[in-house]
């Protein structure tokens, strides 16, 4: 974050997302302010609240992608939840605090992966020695230490020095062959240790239990071991996971994950407009929505949430809410909840020009993805510029005629254009075809019939 300025954040987001400059600037400033807060005196830092954001715009214009790419960019734990799922059962559906628990679990996995990468080389060395012992049939016997004096009459285990030297040379030869991959397909028998799944309590799963109860039940479940006969390649993977876990400091991982969740966590609350009360006439649906908003308020405002790893304080978690707000407006949310989202950004609907840029400019544009997929068959795809314009124009027309689903319509367009080519690709290459030009006429031939058909179900995502 020292080098990741707001301008730099926007530049990185531009590599993946077209347009929506106001939303990009808003999230860039919000993230940079979190870094600025960490440079302040602790007494003052406690008073600086995160600038939560609410994005207003139709579906498919980039709301979720902006939040997801932002979290990936800064290496922050990120979770997307639909606000509407908290209204599915009864007064309010799933416990709203579960979003914080899920965020912490993601942070734990993220930190664990980082620690695992640091000890990977050490774990690989241990696994290699175990595989050598398994191949030699000497599992359980310690290898000859490198510092041991082979010239002595007997080693510490009472083994003659000559035998110890021979065993060391044999292991060296076996190790060299193992590194060359000569035993990759040989089958060996290993002991695999697995953690048993937590049992259901009544009809409740682990995520529905009290955090303390879930932690206790998890600790009561012993690890299960069993013998498996697998190839050396598969054994290397299984043993590497096992040895890596032994080298990890679980307490340190949990401690860092809690800190990262509290200081850099990002929660994306999608479909928040679905819990906005409409006329407020007291109907049961409105009562349910009000209840969800009241449950969300303390989480967004800042509270302590109990998890099986410890207490999480949500004061500095960044909340980004989003919704289309077709049937409701932001003002239909509770005033207290509105006040917790001081930054409001409206996203623009996508135009034909935006579609054309989406098809060509991002690093993983849909056209590049299709080229790469068919290149695996030995087929080269070349797009004419006018063909890109035709796909963009037809996608915009489809959104006008049907429900506007934004950039997601382009996925349907691409699949419709390439449906026959993807099916015939192996046969085309076998017949000698190596290159296909995508022309405007070809695009319109594939799509015009669908657009003019009264039954548009084939074209709906």
Looking at the predicted structure, is the pLDDT value of residue 387 above 80? yes
Are residues 190 and 100 both part of a single domain?
Answer: no
1 falls within a domain: no
458 falls within a domain: no
Residue 89 has a pLDDT of 46
Comparing 131 with 289, which gets the higher pLDDT? Answer: 131
Are residues 28 and 99 both part of a single domain?
Answer: yes
Residue 451 has a pLDDT of 64
Q: Could you give the CA distance from residue 257 to residue 262 in angstroms, rounded to a whole number?
A: 9
Are residues 167 and 215 both part of a single domain?
Answer: yes
Q: What is the DSSP string of 180-202?
A: HTTTTT-EEEEEEEEEPPPPPBT
Residue 217 has a pLDDT of 61
Are residues 210 and 172 both part of a single domain?
Answer: yes
Identify the CATH number of the domain in which residue 430 sits: 1.10.8.60
Residue 45: which pLDDT band, with cuts at 50, 70 and 90? Answer: confident
75 falls within a domain: yes
Q: How far is CA 231 from CA 121, 187, 241, 376, in A?
A: 21, 4, 16, 28
Residue 399: which pLDDT band, with cuts at 50, 70 and 90? Answer: confident
55 falls within a domain: yes
Residue 174 has a pLDDT of 84
Domain count, the chain: 3
Are residues 90 and 191 both part of a single domain?
Answer: no
Residue 153: which pLDDT band, with cuts at 50, 70 and 90? Answer: very low
Identify the CATH number of the domain in which residue 87 sits: 3.40.50.300
Residue 181 has a pLDDT of 82
Q: Could you give the CA distance from residue 6 to residue 9 in angstroms, rounded to a whole number?
A: 5
459 falls within a domain: no
Residue 35 has a pLDDT of 86
Looking at the predicted structure, is the pLDDT value of residue 203 above 50? no
b/e code 119-145 from CB counts within 10 Å (16+ = b): beeebeebbbebbbbbbeeeeeeebbe
252 falls within a domain: no
Looking at the predicted structure, is the pLDDT value of residue 291 above 50? yes
Listed range (195-199, 249-253, 282-286, 352-356) with the worst mean pLDDT: 282-286
Q: Where among 182, 216, 247 does a domain terminate? A: 247
Residue 116 has a pLDDT of 92
Q: How far is CA 342 from CA 12, 49, 277, 331, in A?
A: 25, 11, 20, 13
Are residues 101 and 54 both part of a single domain?
Answer: yes
Whole-number average pLDDT of the chain: 80
Are residues 325 and 356 both part of a single domain?
Answer: no
Residue 88 has a pLDDT of 47
Residue 185: which pLDDT band, with cuts at 50, 70 and 90? Answer: confident
Q: Could you give the CA distance from residue 197 to residue 272 in angstroms, rounded to a whole number?
A: 34
DSSP 8-state code for residue 363: T
419 falls within a domain: yes
> Which has the closest alpha carbon to 417: 394, 442, 436, 451?
442
Are residues 329 and 361 both part of a single domain?
Answer: no
Q: Could you give the CA distance from residue 457 to residue 93 in angstroms, rounded to a whole number?
A: 32
> Which has the closest alpha carbon to 407: 65, 10, 21, 24?
65
Q: Could you give the CA distance from residue 241 to residue 230 in angstroms, rounded to a whole number?
A: 15
Residue 211: which pLDDT band, with cuts at 50, 70 and 90? Answer: low
461 falls within a domain: no
Are residues 319 and 362 both part of a single domain?
Answer: no
Domain hosting residue 128, numbered range = 120-247
Q: Where among 330, 346, 362 does a domain terminate? A: 346
Residue 37: which pLDDT band, with cuts at 50, 70 and 90? Answer: confident
Q: Where among 247, 265, 282 does a domain terminate? A: 247
Residue 216 has a pLDDT of 61
Looking at the predicted structure, is the pLDDT value of residue 208 above 60? no
Are residues 287 and 242 both part of a single domain?
Answer: no
Residue 197: which pLDDT band, with cuts at 50, 70 and 90? Answer: low
Are residues 224 and 267 both part of a single domain?
Answer: no
Q: Which residue has the tokens 């060296």?
A: 172
Segment 295-313 mean pLDDT: 89
Encode pLDDT of 252-275 as tens digits: 999 999 999 998 899 998 888 888
DSSP 8-state code for residue 325: -
Encoding tokens for residue 14?
Answer: 């531009």
Please state, as a whole number, how many other Cβ atoms lie within 10 Å of the Cβ of residue 252: 11
Encoding tokens for residue 189?
Answer: 């028998």
Q: Could you give the CA distance from residue 222 to residue 225 in angstroms, rounded to a whole number?
A: 10
Q: Which residue has the tokens 């382009």?
A: 410
Contacts 24+ apart (CB under 8 A), 429-435: 429/377, 429/378, 429/379, 433/379, 434/378, 434/379, 434/380, 435/379, 435/380, 435/381, 435/382
Are residues 370 and 435 both part of a single domain?
Answer: yes
């Amino acid at each position: 974050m020292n080098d990741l300025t707001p301008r730099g954040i926007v530049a990185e987001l531009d590599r993946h997302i077209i347009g929506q400059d106001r939303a990009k600037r808003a999230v860039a400033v919000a993230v940079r302010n979190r870094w600025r807060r960490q440079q302040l005196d602790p007494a003052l830092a406690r008073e600086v609240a995160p600038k939560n954001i609410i994005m207003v715009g139709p579906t498919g214009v980039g709301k979720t992608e902006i939040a997801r790419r932002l979290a990936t960019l800064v290496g922050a734990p990120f979770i997307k939840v639909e606000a509407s799922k908290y209204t599915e059962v009864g007064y309010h559906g799933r416990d709203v605090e579960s979003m914080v628990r899920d965020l912490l679990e993601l942070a734990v996995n993220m930190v664990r992966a980082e620690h695992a990468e640091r000890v990977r080389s050490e774990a690989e060395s241990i696994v290699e020695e175990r595989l050598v012992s398994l191949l030699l049939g000497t599992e359980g016997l310690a290898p000859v230490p490198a510092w041991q004096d082979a010239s002595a009459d007997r080693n510490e285990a009472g083994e003659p020095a000559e035998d110890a030297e021979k065993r060391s040379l044999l292991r060296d030869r076996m190790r060299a062959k193992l590194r060359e991959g000569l035993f990759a397909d040989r089958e060996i028998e290993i002991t695999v240790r697995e953690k048993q799944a937590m049992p259901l309590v009544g009809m409740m799963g682990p995520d529905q239990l009290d955090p303390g109860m879930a932690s206790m039940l998890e600790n009561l479940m012993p690890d299960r071991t069993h013998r498996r006969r697998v190839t050396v390649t598969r054994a290397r993977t299984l043993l590497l996971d096992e040895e890596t876990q032994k080298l990890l400091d679980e307490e340190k991982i949990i401690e860092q994950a809690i800190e990262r969740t509290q200081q850099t966590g990002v929660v994306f609350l999608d479909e928040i407009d679905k819990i906005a009360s409409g006329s407020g006439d007291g109907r049961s649906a409105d009562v349910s929505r009000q209840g969800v908003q009241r449950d969300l308020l303390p989480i967004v405002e800042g509270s302590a949430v109990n998890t099986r790893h410890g207490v999480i304080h949500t004061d500095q978690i960044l909340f980004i809410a989003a919704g289309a707000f077709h049937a409701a407006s932001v003002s239909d949310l509770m005033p207290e909840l509105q006040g917790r989202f001081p930054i409001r950004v409206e996203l623009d609907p996508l135009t034909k020009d935006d579609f054309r840029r989406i098809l060509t400019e991002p690093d993983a544009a849909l056209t590049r993805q299709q080229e790469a997929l068919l290149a695996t068959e030995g087929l080269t795809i070349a797009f004419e510029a006018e063909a890109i314009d035709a796909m963009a124009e037809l996608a915009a027309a489809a959104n006008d005629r049907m429900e506007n689903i934004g950039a997601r319509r382009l996925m349907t367009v691409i699949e419709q254009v390439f449906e026959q080519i993807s099916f015939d690709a192996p046969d085309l290459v076998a017949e000698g075809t190596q290159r296909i030009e995508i022309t405007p006429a070809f695009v319109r031939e594939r799509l015009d019939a669908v657009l003019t058909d009264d039954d548009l179900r084939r074209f709906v995502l």
